[in-house]
Chains A and B, each alone.
Chain A
Amino acid sequence: MQGIKVIFRKELADHFSSYRFIIIFALIAMVSLITAYMVGLNIRQQLEGVAKPRFIFLMLFTAPGAMFSLVQFVAFFGPLVGLILGFDTINRERNEGTLSKLLAQPIYRDVVINGKFLAGVAMISIMLVSIVLVITGLGLLVMGIVPGLEEIWRILIYLVISIIYISFWLGVAILFSIIFRSTATSALAALAVWIFFSFFVSIGASILGNALAGDTPQSDTAAVVRQARIVKAVQLTSPMKLYTDATATIIDPMRKSTRSIVSMGPMENLSMARFSGPLPLSQSILIVIPYLISLVAITIICFAVSYMVFMRQEIRSM
Chain B
Amino acid sequence: MNTPAIIETHELTKKYNGSVAVDHISFSVGEGEIFGFLGPNGAGKTTTLLMLLGLTEPTSGTARVMGLDPVRDPIKVKSKIGYLQENMGFYPDLNAVQMLRFIGELNGLSGSRAEERIRSALEAVGLASEAEKKIRAYSRGMRQRLGLAELLIKDSRVAFLDEPTLGLDPDATNRMMDLIEQLSRERKMTVLLSSHLLNQVQKICHRVGIMIKGRMVAQGPMDRLAKEKLGIGPEQYTLEEIYMKYFQEA
Contact = CB atoms under 8 A, between A and B. Distances in A.
A101 B53 CA distance: 11
Interface in A87-119: 96-108
26 contacts: A2-B108, A3-B106, A6-B105, A10-B102, A96-B91, A97-B88, A98-B89, A98-B90, A99-B89, A100-B55, A100-B85, A101-B90, A104-B53, A105-B78, A105-B103, A106-B75, A106-B107, A106-B108, A107-B78, A314-B56, A315-B50, A315-B55, A316-B16, A316-B46, A316-B47, A316-B50
Contact of B85 (A10, A14, A104, A106): A104
A131 to B, nearest CB: 27
A140 B207 CA distance: 77
B87 interface: yes
B92 A96 contact: yes
A103 B55 contact: yes
B89 A101 contact: yes
Contact of A108 (B75, B79, B90): B75
A107 B56 CA distance: 15
Contacts of B76: 106
Interface in B70-115: 75-76, 78-79, 81, 83, 85, 87-93, 102-103, 105-108
The majority secondary structure among interface residues of chain B is mixed
A105 B106 contact: yes
Interface in A293-318: 314-316
B55 A105 contact: no
Contacts of B78: 104-107
Given A97-B88, A104-B85, A315-B50, 11 more contacts: A6-B105, A7-B106, A98-B89, A98-B90, A101-B89, A104-B53, A104-B55, A105-B107, A106-B106, A107-B75, A107-B78
Interface string A1-32: 01100110010001001000000000000000
A316 B49 CA distance: 10
B166 to A, nearest CB: 13
Contacts of A314: 16, 56
Contacts of A14: 93
Contacts of B79: 106
A208 to B, nearest CB: 41
A294 to B, nearest CB: 37
Nearest to A314: B56
B106 A6 contact: yes
Interface of A: 2-3, 6-7, 10, 14, 17, 96-108, 314-316
Interface in B24-76: 46-47, 50, 53, 55-56, 75-76
A4 B50 CA distance: 23
A102 B92 CA distance: 14
Contacts of A104: 53, 55, 78, 81, 83, 85
Contacts of A102: 106
A18 to B, nearest CB: 9
Contacts of B83: 101, 104
Contacts of B87: 97
A101 B85 contact: yes
A97 B105 contact: no
B91 A107 contact: no
Which residue among A3, A101, A103, A104 has the maximum number of chain B CB atoms within 10 Å of its CB? A104
A108 B53 CA distance: 13
A17 B134 CA distance: 14
B56 A6 contact: no
Contacts of B47: 316
Nearest to B49: A104
A296 B102 CA distance: 32
Nearest to B21: A316
Contacts of A107: 75, 78, 106
Contacts of B89: 96-101
B239 to A, nearest CB: 28
Nearest to B92: A96
B190 to A, nearest CB: 17
B38 to A, nearest CB: 20
Contacts of A96: 89, 91-92
B109 to A, nearest CB: 10
Which residue among B53, B55, B79 has the maximum number of chain A CB atoms within 10 Å of its CB? B55
Nearest to A2: B108
A98 B91 contact: yes
Nearest to A104: B83
A255 to B, nearest CB: 47
A182 B121 CA distance: 35
Nearest to A315: B55
Contact of A97 (B81, B85, B93, B107): B85
Nearest to B46: A316
A107 to B, nearest CB: 6
A1 to B, nearest CB: 11
